[in-house]
Amino acid sequence: MAEPLLIRSRLWDYPVRFTADVAGALDAAAEEPGVLVIDATVRERFGVGRWRDDRVITIPAHEETKTLAGSGDLLAQLVAGGMRRSHRLVVVGGGIVQDVASFAASVLYRGVSWVFFPTTLLAQCDSCIGGKTSINHAGAKNILGNFHPPREVVIDTGFLETLPDAAIGSGIGEMLHYFVYADSPFLERTAREHDALLGDRSRLAPFIDESLRIKQRVIEQDEFEQGERAKFNYGHTFGHALEAATAYAVPHGYAVTVGMDLANFVSREIGLMAPDTFDALHAVLRVNFPAYDWRTLDLASYATLLTRDKKNTATQVRCILAEGPGRLRVHPLRLREDGLDRLVQRYFTSELPYA
């Protein structure tokens, strides 16, 4: 089992611990005043242990939940259920449940403490640390939010055993983006062991640990994304727009995988990345490409969605491009004047997203 981590934050430090007895940890949390917010599917499969029904709120893990309306519904239930500022919110679920619940925790009584039990690979390898809360609004992804870290994170990889392969592949996409950022040996290892990781979830623990430790090193130096942490948007600027353009038919981590390949393609075309470096990275990323017909993608709509990202303007995209693994840079490009729209079109009308 992986060693625990202690995340240093300017707001408050918080531990990340790994356990094989999440039921016991949840039961212990039930002894303290507070409310359990749990993903509906997770509750159906694992139950709520010693938590009384009147202290449990069940929410669906849908993008429609991750909105102002969804967080408003949760806040109304928390207030009606007697949640107090001194109480603790215990959150069990993946990234969507985390986003909705952490946002609610950040604004209720100007902030209540919360504990997170991540149940998806995406949440375990990435979003459980860093302190960001994010919800969607006005058709754009993650444009509302703030920073409100948990007081503790408890990870049990046993949750991953019940997930479909697509959920694991989505998490692998997120880990790959950290491994490219850090030029980690886990980058090539992930490509080699991809099918084995899908088939045997117990093998994922060291990959999760590596991903979290890479992220930890950066967020402890740049918690509020004023500098280096911005490079973690590698694959995400292009990926978030892909999610929205496909009505979320392409899950987040898969969209990030394609987003990284697109970022690398743009890097190659403007002379930033050598062709052989692109080919080597493409060979790694392609093992995690989703089965999707990109010919159905509305490229005009996709370009519009790119400009609606919170980091961009109406005409310029704040791209994270790469010279190679471990060598990422912020590189703004204008859609028309710099030809970004044409490069995007060339990418999606080529064989690259399939090959």
**Maximal C-alpha separation, the chain:** 60
Q: From CA 42, how far away is CA 48, in angstroms rounded?
A: 9
- Token pair, residue 313, equals 């303007």
What would you report as the CA-atom Rg of the chain, rounded to the nearest whole angstrom?
Answer: 20
* Residue numbers annotated as active site: 110, 132, 174, 215, 225, 229, 233, 236, 240, 252
Residues 6+ apart with CB under 8 A from 160: 120, 121, 124, 168, 201, 204
Buried b (16+ CB within 10 A) or exposed e, 162-179: ebeeebbbbbbbbbbbbb
Q: From CA 236, how far away is CA 225, in angstroms rounded?
A: 14
Q: From CA 141, how far away is CA 240, in angstroms rounded?
A: 7
3-state secondary structure of 44: helix
Q: Tell me if 301 sits within 8 A of 245, measured CB to CB.
A: yes
Q: From CA 22, how far away is CA 1, in angstroms rounded?
A: 14
